[in-house]
Amino acid sequence: MAGNSYGTLFRISTFGESHGAGIGVVIDGCPPGIEIDMDFIQSELDRRRPGQSAIVTQRKEADVVDIQSGIFEGLSTGTPISLYIKNKDQKSKDYSHIADKFRPSHADYTYAAKYGVRDYRGGGRSSARETAARVAAGAIAKTILYAHGIKINAYVSQVGTLELAKDYTTLDLSLTESNIVRCPDAEMAEQMIDYIKDIRKQGDTVGGMVSCVIAGCPVGLGEPVFDKLHAELGKAMLSINAVKGFEYGSGFRSLAMKGSEHNDIFQKAEDGSIHTSTNFSGGVQGGISNGMDIYFNVAFKPVATIMQDQESIDKEGNEAVVTGKGRHDPCVVPRAVPIVEAMAALVIVDFILRQKAN
């Protein structure tokens, strides 16, 4: 109830702070007999890891994952899987300059007000470092999905005002990992990279968009009414640090459309399968998957930590200047791609288990 768990049948509980002993996750409900590939988990973590390229934070964290339970001779046993990532050098840095100050648009003030006590080092629990645990758990979820023929591909579709104005069906999503900004369009990727480098030089940050496509979902996933498939996807995405908006299928565009344009017409293919001629529904109707691609957009605000002096107050309410220090991301979306995929995988695998129980 304190908000550190997600999922109903495939349920993850994360723990750990940015500069505490480590970050971890316990997965309860992973079916038995799944082959757990530690190298794959590590490779997913490496996609999220700081210091991976010239346009992300230059902090050094190897993010080596360790397994504490739930796996025997390479297979999941149906008991809780605990994954742990030890923090490096967590005591080395001096955080006294922000211990009593509230950084603008960070969680410092709200955590202080809610809990009375807080670990201010690097944001403590509110740090996006927590998402490493999600990526680790998401890698196991992806493993299960692959076996069901389900593929999840996220990519960067906008950085600042640079918008990739192409439908995902016209893109080759296998190219996403071919550049450091994770945009499958090479030309746009280059522009985005240049722009982010420029923003960094200004000591500033910028927002961006991650788009995601889930292909191969069977018909029938999602629970109607409150736990609609897209409602859970929305919650999962909005729970990622810095996310400000979510839309699926036709999304915000739909509000200016007419029903006669927007309705997706059912058709039967030669092989007997049912599909729709268009897919404004985004693969979900009445909260339940209809077998078409599920696609959605996630809006990320600009990172709050900037390398400029900012006015603020301290915990006594006195005026105080906050000075950006350390190494931070000028734009989160390149590193957010694997996080969006991980959360999407966790949502879908949970619905698969829920549907099995029907």
Please, what is the minimum distance in Å from the beta carbon of residue 224 to a copy of itself? 6
Please, what is the minimum distance in Å from the beta carbon of residue 83 to a copy of itself? 10
Long-range contacts: 66-73, Cβ < 8 Å, 24+?
67/36, 67/38, 68/24, 70/27, 70/30, 71/36
Q: Closer to a copy of itself at the Cβ: 149 or 224?
A: 224
| CA torsion, ordered 276, 278, 284, 288, to nearest 10 deg | -10
Distance CA 353, CA 31 (A): 9
Distance CA 263, CA 205 (A): 39
Q: Closer to a copy of itself at the Cβ: 177 or 227?
A: 227
Cβ atoms within 10 A of the Cβ of 155, count? 26
Please, what is the minimum distance in Å from the beta carbon of residue 307 to a copy of itself? 9
| Two structure tokens written together for 61 | 């964290």
Please, what is the minimum distance in Å from the beta carbon of residue 320 to a copy of itself? 9
| Two structure tokens written together for 353 | 């288990």
Please, what is the minimum distance in Å from the beta carbon of residue 60 to a copy of itself? 21
Q: Closer to a copy of itself at the Cβ: 184 or 234?
A: 234
User: 196-221 b/e with 16+ CB inside 10 Å = b?
Assistant: beebbeeebbbbbbbbbbbeebeeeb
Q: Is 262 helix (H, G, I), strand (E, B) or coil?
A: helix
Q: Closer to a copy of itself at the Cβ: 170 or 259?
A: 259
Sign (positive or negative) of CA dihedral 178, 181, 185, 190: negative
Residues recorded for the chain: 358
Distance CA 167, CA 111 (A): 40
Distance CA 36, CA 190 (A): 36
Q: Closer to a copy of itself at the Cβ: 92 or 174?
A: 92
Please, what is the minimum distance in Å from the beta carbon of residue 19 to a copy of itself? 10
Q: Closer to a copy of itself at the Cβ: 21 or 54?
A: 21
Q: Closer to a copy of itself at the Cβ: 28 or 293?
A: 28
Please, what is the minimum distance in Å from the beta carbon of residue 133 to a copy of itself? 10
